[in-house]
């Protein structure tokens, strides 16, 4: 993956002090063919650049792409790599209309799940990936969440499958605040640098 970095004194440095090149490339056809468009920053409406999206290359950074403009609709979390068709990013169709960079901040990654809205009821603290939330959390429903540090993905089903929801540092007093239509969280994954 191409990248460039500089330290605070401008002399260059190791990867931990790096500012990586952020880039995602969208292609209208499968296997990176057809009309394409490169993005290096958050873009709230991609419709004028392409009519459909059937493959994606993430050349730098971690991204969340959305099915609708203005960062709405189904979310798909993409790390550097190649996605030759929409099924490779667990997409339901070829519709991608907005994208944004996921800001990863190093620290003590932690979040708390709550079985009821407004941070009430049974609590579960999470500091690492959880392949099956129902195996660790007595309640299948997660109605609210507090992300203390890190960028996390909630998956609708166990083993990191189903609809995806990005949660970054902050308080989510109700599951609709992270974009879900119901409180089911089947698995949880921490997004790390790649």
CATH of the domain at 165: 2.60.20.10
Whether 49 and 28 have beta carbons less than 8 Å apart is answered as no
Same domain, 79 and 124: no
Whether residue 50 lies inside any domain: the answer is: yes
Distance CA 78, CA 100 (A): 10
Whether residue 4 lies inside any domain: the answer is: no
Q: How far is CA 113 from the centre of its chain?
A: 18
pTM of the model: 0.81
Find the domain containing 92 and state its range: 15-101
Same domain, 62 and 22: yes
Q: Which residue has the tokens 């203005």?
A: 70
Tokens of 45: 């409406």
Cβ neighbour number for residue 43 with a 10 Å cutoff: 18
Whether residue 9 lies inside any domain: the answer is: no
- pLDDT tens sequence for the chain (194 residues): 232 222 233 333 333 334 458 999 999 999 999 999 999 999 999 999 999 999 999 999 999 999 999 999 999 999 999 999 999 999 989 999 999 999 887 678 999 999 999 999 999 999 999 999 999 887 779 999 999 999 999 999 999 999 999 999 999 999 999 999 999 999 999 998 65
CA angle (76 as vertex; 72, 77 as ends), nearest 5: 120
Q: Domain boundary residue among 84, 101, 118? A: 101
Q: Domain boundary residue among 101, 135, 158? A: 101
- Outline where DSSP puts E strands in 40-84: 55-60, 63-68, 72-78, 81-83
Whether 67 and 74 have beta carbons less than 8 Å apart is answered as yes
């Amino acid at each position: 993956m191409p990248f460039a970095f500089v330290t605070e004194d401008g002399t260059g440095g190791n990867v931990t002090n790096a500012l990586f090149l952020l880039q995602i490339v969208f292609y209208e056809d499968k296997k990176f063919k057809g009309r394409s468009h490169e993005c290096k920053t958050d873009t709230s409406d991609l419709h004028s650049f392409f009519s459909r999206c059937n493959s994606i290359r993430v050349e730098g950074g971690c991204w969340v792409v959305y099915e609708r403009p203005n960062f709405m609709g189904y979310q798909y979390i993409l790390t550097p790599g190649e996605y030759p068709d929409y099924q490779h990013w667990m997409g339901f169709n070829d519709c991608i209309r907005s994208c944004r960079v996921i800001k990863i901040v190093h620290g003590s990654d932690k979040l708390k799940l709550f079985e009821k809205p407004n941070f009430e009821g049974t609590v579960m603290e999470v500091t690492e990936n959880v392949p099956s939330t129902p195996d660790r959390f007595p309640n299948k429903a997660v109605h609210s969440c507090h992300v203390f540090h890190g960028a996390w993905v909630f998956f609708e089903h166990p083993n990191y499958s189903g609809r995806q929801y990005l949660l970054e540092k902050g308080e989510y007093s109700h599951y609709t605040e992270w974009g879900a239509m119901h409180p089911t969280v089947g698995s949880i994954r921490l997004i790390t640098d790649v």
